[in-house]
Amino acid sequence: MATNAIDQTRRMLSLVTYLRERPGARVGDVARAFGITEDELIADLDVLPMCGTSFRGGDLLDIDTDGDRIWWHNPDDVAEPLRLAADEATALLVAARAVATLPGLREGDRQALLRATAKLEAAAGEAAGASSRLSVTFESEGGVFADVDRAIAERRRLWLRYYSPARDELTEREVDPIRLFAVGHTYMEAWCRLSEARRTFRLDRVAEIKLLDAPADPPPVELRDLSEGLVQPAAEDPEVSIEVGPGGRWVAEYYPHDSAEELPDGGLRITLRTPDPTSLRRLALRLGRDGRIVAPQALADSARQAAEQALAAYGE
């Protein structure tokens, strides 16, 4: 079952209360109680220690797990009444007002946020005055996120103009969104009606987005486990060999690969698999003198031609 960002936030807030009342709770029991997998629960537990009553770094939730049980070491400390300093109250009020203006935010959530903001303003007193003179404008990705989140909640189809860096072009397509997730960047997993397959879209590459009246009806798909990263090559994907010098060894750390053999000059011969080998041409251009594609030959020739065309453009 797909989970949007607001649902996950609600679950994590409930998780705090649940764990406070059940010290040493078993991971499996908690996951079943919340209707999620153990991997999803562990992902939540990785985020919770970064939360607390102060953005200055103090009074954070001290929660950890040994893989079997979950321990909360400072529940009494963070349960004390929250007292905001003037700068904390200002930051919170500015953020709340900004979030309330996001396009696509569900009206019930917007009204709840506005009510909470009003209560915070009353409690902050004079400290709330400074916040009224500040405002925040979200970049386009924020609006895209809100539209995708709304589409998931209302089970509606989306129309996109999307930039594909592998082909260096904008395409128009209709998609049935499945879920939002973050792995370095924020992504939408969706069923693409153009390719009739599941695709992943990076939100900052969405040039334009529209909610459609058509209902979203993605076919049943098994959600991928993203704990090992976004790119998880399959055994049937084409194999590519790349040789890098000492300055290109970072490729072995950044890209999942089958093997990395040491070369006499301190470089590596890296063998990896990818469903779209042509996407590695940009990697070859980025490496420059520090690396080259050696197989398959057609891809190596294509990368060489792209480099020659780039050099010619500089000459012009």
Chain region(s) in the chain for CATH 1.10.10.10? 5-72
Choose from 152-166, 242-256, 281-295 the range with maximum mean pLDDT.
Answer: 152-166
Does residue 229 surpass a pLDDT of 50? yes
Location of structure tokens 């909360």: 72
pLDDT at 166: 55
pLDDT band at 140 (very low <50, low <70, confident <90, very high): very low
pLDDT band at 16 (very low <50, low <70, confident <90, very high): confident
Instruction: Let me know: does 231 contact 256? Beta carbons within 8 Å.
Output: yes
Residue 222 burial (10 A CB sphere; 0-12, 13-18, 19+): exposed
CA 168 to chain centre: 22
CATH number of 5-72: 1.10.10.10
User: What tokens were used for 51?
Assistant: 């939360």
User: Does the N-terminal peptide bond of residue 177 adopt cis geometry, omega within 30 degrees of 0?
Assistant: no
Mean pLDDT of 218-237: 65
Please count the other Cβ atoms lying within 10 Å of the Cβ belonging to residue 185: 12
Least confident piece of the model among 22-26, 106-110, 136-140, 164-168:
136-140
Q: How far apart are CA 42 and CA 40, in angstroms?
A: 5
Q: How far apart are CA 33 and CA 36, in angstroms?
A: 8
CATH number of 139-215: 2.30.30
pLDDT at 23: 84
Name the DSSP class of 61: -
pTM above threshold 0.75: no
Looking at per-residue confidence, does 8 or 248 come out higher? 248
Does residue 307 surpass a pLDDT of 70? yes
Taking only the tens place, the pLDDT of each residue in 75-104 is: 666 555 555 666 667 777 777 776 666 555
pLDDT band at 157 (very low <50, low <70, confident <90, very high): very high
pLDDT at 127: 59
Chain region(s) in the chain for CATH 2.30.30? 139-215
pLDDT band at 1 (very low <50, low <70, confident <90, very high): very low
pLDDT at 90: 72
Instruction: Let me know: does 142 contact 130? Beta carbons within 8 Å.
Output: no
Instruction: Let me know: does 203 contact 144? Beta carbons within 8 Å.
Output: yes
pLDDT at 175: 94
